[in-house]
Structure 1
Amino acid sequence: MSTRNLRKAYGGNNTLPAPDDSEDDYEPYNKNKVSAFTYAGLELSSGSEEHNTSEADSVEEEEPEPQPETTKKKNKKKKKKQKKAKPITNDDEEDEIDKSIKEINALMGSPVPAVASTSEENQKHTLIPEILVVQQKHLNVANELKKKFGTDSAEDRSKRGNRQAQLRIQKKSLIVPQIENLAAFPKVGLSMSVARRAGGCVYFTFDHDAQYRRRQQRLLARAAAGRAPDVAPEEAQRHMHVESMLESADMMFRIEEYTVANTLIEQSIAYMQFVAHPSFQLTDPSTRLEYSYMENRTFHILILKYLHLLTNRACHRTALELAKMLLNLDPTDPLAILFIIDTLALRAREHQWLIDAVDHWSKERNAGFLFNIQFSYAMAHYHVAVKHGGDTSKADDLLQNAMLRFPTILMKLYECANVTPSAKLQAHTLFNSATERMTRNLNDLIFLYAKFTWSKWREPAVFEWLKQNAEALADRYDADPALQERAKVLVNEGLNLFRSWPDEVIRHLCVIKPMSSLLVDGAVPEVTNLVASDPSPPNQGVNRYGYTFGPQGDSRTAAQSTLRELFSSLLPNYAVYAPPDLE
């Protein structure tokens, strides 16, 4: 407590000295104030107080005598000396503290220098390369829409009117910012917890309570019994059971109710982020949400559906950022994001980013062998060369090498772009011989890639560049027997690439199959999927709650599934018995 407060509390009437920059008419703030304390022990100097007050009154009546300047300077010097005296006592106290610390260190040992936080931050940044770091400004679709179409004044007024929801949105960093009725979401059923911490990463998992588990088990039982989930969107939204909402969304996609399906997808994502752990940060490179946990798969599938919907609405930059986010949440790429991320980068015109990313993945994942990566990589080099006014020879070599390994893609691009190739290209053996020996699996994937990217190849300058390189490669092929032998080897390697679809590709196809008509005019190949929230479950999956697929469990064979489909096609009313829903 300061001396001024003490004088005020104790009733002392001694005035404090005027400040250095004060004028001659300075008056103390506690003049003529009466003490509020009545304790006898604090009133020992009552006589002196009366004497002081009388003196103060007399001084007030008389004119103040001017003081010489020397006294003011001396007072200033005294004050400075008093101010300098304080750190001396602190040094003494610090010496005593240092002595005690040294004695403790001698007994217990010296502590480790406190640099853990800095090293932890550095470790986070080294977990993934800079090109795969998720940026918050691109993760929010509202920013891209505002950049493309400007600011809507009505929308801004509604946002200002719901300030509390906006603060919650900023805190949670919601992917779907237009969902503002967060308070209406139930706070029971679904939650998130930290599973473990390892290697500088934090692994999260979604948790189901007892009521949520009962709904999930009924959903799986209906699917295992061959019955459609048949969950009304309103019923799924009332309980906020995200797996049922996902089933309802797929049903809406099939009957082309795209607005309802899109709303279900957005609400499901917003709810899963609403119940997420406070430390679950999508932009943090150390955040993990493993697909192997059955409870986590729905979030991955919802994000994959949502990014396809965004890129279909020309929000390509946000879709690309969501793809990077999925690769960060589970670097094993359980949904084959590498099959689509090059298309997203081309649509977003992030050509230099695609080049850097492919250079990284070619070392880490052997991505250079994928047909989509090879063609998109060549186009990215072409755009970068044209942008900087440089030579496109490297892009030409990359494109011709890609066509040597996968020559059938050229004809698929012509077909999707509704352009008739020249007679020279139509009759050339390089672009036609491989089609007869190509497997159906590879043919379907190549056609799907052509459907995804034909609009980028159809741009006039790019299409002319594609045509020139195709004809140049045909001339080289006819003139060089060594190139013909090399082409045969490369084509055989490409044909063996997708003899059967990997599980990651099957999952991706299962996710986008209900959306096939909206995305690529039905070009997604046929795939069989029982549950929308768990397509092609991984062999080493984690089923913490012991969910089963009906009485037959996970041991149900493919023959039984085929037999059920046969009876269903012959008898439309055929259905295996399944327990009725209780709710």
Structure 2
Amino acid sequence: MSARYLRKVLRQQESQEQQQEDHQLDNDDDSESPDSSTPAFVNPFDLLNDDDHDRDQLQGSEPEIADEHEPLIGNIDDREPSVKATVNTVPSSNHKAKKKKKKKNKVDPSSSMGNIEKPLDVILENLSIEDNSSSHPLGPLKAKPAKVEIGDSMLKQCTPSILQVDPKFLSAENELRRIFGSKVVSSFQKSHQTGSSRQVRGGRHGSHNHRKTILVTPSEHWHRWDGSLSMELLETRDGYHYFKYVHSSSYSQVQSAYEAAKATHDLNGIASILFYHPYHLDSLITMAEYFKFSGDQQMAADSIAKCLYALECAWHPMFSPFQGTCQLKYIGHESNRPLFTALFTHMNDMHRRGCHRSALEICKLLLSVDSDDRKGAMQCIDYFSLRAEEYKWLEQFSEEYRTDNSIWLIPNFSFSLAICRFYLEHEEGSNNTQMKPGKATSTDLLKQALLLHPPVLKKLVAKVPLKDQAWTKILKHSYFGSDQTGIPTVDHLINIYVERSYLIWRLPDLQKLLRNSALLAIDTLERNKCEAQDWACVRKEAFPSDKNEYSHLLVSDFSDSVPTMPPDNLQNFLVDPRMREVPNGDQVANPPHGGGAPRNIANRNALAVLFESMLPWVDYGVGDGVGEDGQHNDHVQDHEN
């Protein structure tokens, strides 16, 4: 606001004040008491005056204030803080109004200071409400509390979900700041941005103002979102909103080009697609896999981040996945699958960076948008909860997610809940609080887990590894001597659990708990000969199928190791998921070699065929674990596990 316009407004306000005061004085009775006089009107625009103008007016009004209340000695800065605040906050127009009132109404001097100080709170309140009501972008502030009340009542009506995601924990940068401090993270980001700016300097693409997203933070050198992807609402049923992604006509053409490049095993064709269409999801995921196996983890993470950025930019206005009321089905909607693949890869990347809480929130998001859980979020959500030290949440999740208590029978939960109870017992002991009655101890829970899934103990001893002589004696018992249960689903879930969570058992306290629980389990089996048969019946009843119901989940996808393609072993590398390297770096299975006609590549993994096309000296391998004789290659899976 210019000074000329401000002075004009002030003159108008003063003239209005004078007219109002004259009108009121004419109508006042002679018997009106001085104490009942109304305080002078204060012009709120006087608070916007510059400091020099206020200082001149305040200095000129000091003797008048001193005469009304008490003498003020010394400079303003040397006086008491309360007096100084009073002097500095009194508008200049208020003094003029008080002076005129004193001449006409003969106000008591002892009450003049109270009249000055008393309306200050009212003045500031009126200033913040009345003056901002017309300029506020959301309308008058008086209507805002009504909107807040409506929103709060709506939230209260909604039942809180155990899978509700906290968006502030999705950012890896925020978690790294909590772990290492802001200075360390800021210095690392500056150095990384400097290197990135050098790489993109001289390029044809400049920086853009990207959309602000929650899942990832877009980089400056990314392309502008092209809007080729969208989302539509399918239906609303049982309080859940069902959505699916929709491809535009231009995106469908690019998808056809991608399918053609994949069919001809042309990696350069996929790279050219990304050159002209940088947010094609399948191409980004394919290149992320290529960078991962090539050892360039930064480029792989960048490709997945671009994929998530494009997916979030296409969200429907009603799509709010963080509340647990929106569904995106994996089965039946091909266009939804890139979201699950990108989230699962991003979750593992957050875990490798040490951001366990971020990985937990992403895992909750995966499970909340599709309860079918085709990516295996249930097989790692307990692990991320333990690493993030969310023990109470894990117990609450086990009690509320499935009311039939079947979650306690899954191998990873039966062991993780025992560990969770162990840490909660330590917290209760440090706080001098007693555990709620009716809850089993961590030792009892772990003993039940060992009796229900005995092969876990032998696999953990070999994987951790546990080299104490006590473990040799324990494994000599017939109940823990085998590493198979004979139930394909249980054996596969045990392999996934050991591969995912074996690092937790390297802690000495948990090793002691495991040893004591194993000894108690052996003692129970010795005292009751029918105990082993009873637990076998429980396993058979919990997992009645003779087929592996989780065969779509690969053990290698739950591994902490980062797969690579060493240059010396390129000729022996196959990207078939069942032929990948195991975490210790040994080859899972020897690739087929020798001359002759190529084998049948039907039902092969498309990415495997794509990579094999880059290695012309490698013959095609078997597909989906099926050999030339038509039998399933179970030895490959066993060796991998």
Which interval holds the TM-score relative to the shorter structure?
Answer: 0.5 to 0.7
Candidates 121, 124, 133, aligned match of 2:155: 121
Q: Does the CA-based 8 Å contact 1:404-1:491 persist in structure 2?
A: no
Alpha-carbon separation, structure 2, partners of 1:408 and 1:65 = 94
Q: Structure 1 regions of 5+ residues with no counterpart?
A: 24-63, 73-114, 530-557, 576-583
Q: Does the CA-based 8 Å contact 1:476-1:483 persist in structure 2?
A: yes
Cα 1:231–1:416, aligned 2, differ >3 Å: closer, same or farther?
Answer: farther
Deviation of 1:303 after TM superposition, in Å, equals 0.5
Aligned pairs (5 A) from 1:192-207: 192-207=231-246
Alpha-carbon separation, structure 2, partners of 1:285 and 1:354 = 17
Alpha-carbon separation, structure 1, partners of 2:295 and 2:344 = 19
SS at match of 2:523: helix
Candidates 352, 358, 371, aligned match of 1:312: 352
The range that moved more, 196-205 or 303-312, is 196-205
Alpha-carbon separation, structure 2, partners of 1:427 and 1:247 = 47
| One-letter identity of the residue aligned with 2:353 | R
SS at match of 2:499: helix
Aligned pairs (5 A) from 1:434-473: 435=483, 438=486, 442-473=490-521
1:227 aligns with: 265
2:113 aligns with: none
Deviation of 1:337 after TM superposition, in Å, equals 1.3
| One-letter identity of the residue aligned with 2:176 | L
Candidates 394, 407, 411, aligned match of 2:458: 411
Alpha-carbon separation, structure 2, partners of 1:379 and 1:490 = 22
Deviation of 1:67 after TM superposition, in Å, equals 7.7
Q: Does the CA-based 8 Å contact 2:411-2:490 persist in structure 1?
A: no
Q: Does the CA-based 8 Å contact 1:189-1:211 persist in structure 2?
A: yes
Q: Does the CA-based 8 Å contact 2:228-2:251 persist in structure 1?
A: yes
Alpha-carbon separation, structure 1, partners of 2:415 and 2:291 = 34
Cα 1:560–1:470, aligned 2, differ >3 Å: closer, same or farther?
Answer: same
Deviation of 1:307 after TM superposition, in Å, equals 0.5
| One-letter identity of the residue aligned with 1:465 | L
2:535 aligns with: 487
Cα 1:116–1:426, aligned 2, differ >3 Å: closer, same or farther?
Answer: same
Structure showing greater relative contact order (alpha-carbon pairs closer than 8 Å, 6 or more residues apart) = 1
Aligned pairs (5 A) from 1:49-68: none
Listed one character per residue, the Cα deviations across residues 324-379 of structure 1 (whole Å, up to 9, x for unaligned) are: 11222223323231111111111112111111111123416832221111111111
Alpha-carbon separation, structure 1, partners of 2:458 and 2:191 = 51
Deviation of 1:460 after TM superposition, in Å, equals 0.5
Candidates 213, 232, 237, aligned match of 1:172: 213
The range that moved more, 300-309 or 277-286, is 277-286
Candidates 515, 518, 532, aligned match of 2:562: 518
Alpha-carbon separation, structure 2, partners of 1:65 and 1:406 = 91
Listed one character per residue, the Cα deviations across residues 68-127 of structure 1 (whole Å, up to 9, x for unaligned) are: 74999xxxxxxxxxxxxxxxxxxxxxxxxxxxxxxxxxxxxxxxxxx997775345x32x
1:28 aligns with: none
SS at match of 1:203: strand
Deviation of 1:265 after TM superposition, in Å, equals 0.9
SS at match of 2:401: helix
Alpha-carbon separation, structure 2, partners of 1:185 and 1:217 = 23
Listed one character per residue, the Cα deviations across residues 433-475 of structure 1 (whole Å, up to 9, x for unaligned) are: 4x35535664343233112111111211111010111012112
Deviation of 1:181 after TM superposition, in Å, equals 4.8
Alpha-carbon separation, structure 1, partners of 2:174 and 2:484 = 48
Candidates 340, 345, 367, aligned match of 1:300: 340
SS at match of 2:216: coil
Listed one character per residue, the Cα deviations across residues 38-80 of structure 1 (whole Å, up to 9, x for unaligned) are: xxxxxxxxxxxxxxxxxxxxxxxxxx999874999xxxxxxxx
SS at match of 1:363: coil
Candidates 167, 174, 177, aligned match of 1:136: 167
Deviation of 1:236 after TM superposition, in Å, equals 2.2
SS at match of 1:172: coil
Cα 1:425–1:137, aligned 2, differ >3 Å: closer, same or farther?
Answer: same
SS at match of 1:207: strand
Q: Work out the number of aligned pairs and report it.
A: 444
Cα 1:168–1:462, aligned 2, differ >3 Å: closer, same or farther?
Answer: same
SS at match of 1:252: helix
Cα 1:290–1:407, aligned 2, differ >3 Å: closer, same or farther?
Answer: same
Alpha-carbon separation, structure 1, partners of 2:557 and 2:101 = 95
1:346 aligns with: 386
Cα 1:468–1:232, aligned 2, differ >3 Å: closer, same or farther?
Answer: same
Aligned pairs (5 A) from 1:102-121: 120-121=154-155
Listed one character per residue, the Cα deviations across residues 500-543 of structure 1 (whole Å, up to 9, x for unaligned) are: 333xx444439938x87418999x994599xxxxxxxxxxxxxx
Q: Does the CA-based 8 Å contact 2:461-2:471 persist in structure 1?
A: no
Q: Does the CA-based 8 Å contact 2:228-2:247 persist in structure 1?
A: yes
| One-letter identity of the residue aligned with 1:211 | S
| One-letter identity of the residue aligned with 2:274 | A
The answer as to 2:514 corresponding to 1:474 is: no
SS at match of 1:134: coil
2:180 aligns with: 149
Q: Does the CA-based 8 Å contact 1:142-1:177 persist in structure 2?
A: no
Q: RMSD of the alignment, in Å?
A: 4.7
SS at match of 1:213: helix
Alpha-carbon separation, structure 1, partners of 2:167 and 2:541 = 41
Candidates 473, 479, 484, aligned match of 1:430: 479
Alpha-carbon separation, structure 2, partners of 1:488 and 1:71 = 96
The answer as to 2:246 corresponding to 1:212 is: no
Alpha-carbon separation, structure 2, partners of 1:157 and 1:261 = 21
The answer as to 2:315 corresponding to 1:276 is: yes
| One-letter identity of the residue aligned with 1:299 | L
Cα 1:409–1:66, aligned 2, differ >3 Å: closer, same or farther?
Answer: closer
Q: Does the CA-based 8 Å contact 2:495-2:555 persist in structure 1?
A: no
1:327 aligns with: 367
Alpha-carbon separation, structure 1, partners of 2:579 and 2:260 = 17
TM-score by length of 1: 0.64
Alpha-carbon separation, structure 2, partners of 1:66 and 1:422 = 97
Alpha-carbon separation, structure 1, partners of 2:555 and 2:422 = 33
Deviation of 1:147 after TM superposition, in Å, equals 0.2
Aligned pairs (5 A) from 1:532-571: 560-561=602-603
SS at match of 2:242: strand
Listed one character per residue, the Cα deviations across residues 407-447 of structure 1 (whole Å, up to 9, x for unaligned) are: 010111111112135332121011024x3553566434323
SS at match of 2:292: helix
Candidates 286, 300, 303, aligned match of 2:325: 286
Candidates 292, 296, 321, aligned match of 1:257: 296
Candidates 382, 395, 398, aligned match of 1:358: 398
Deviation of 1:249 after TM superposition, in Å, equals 1.0
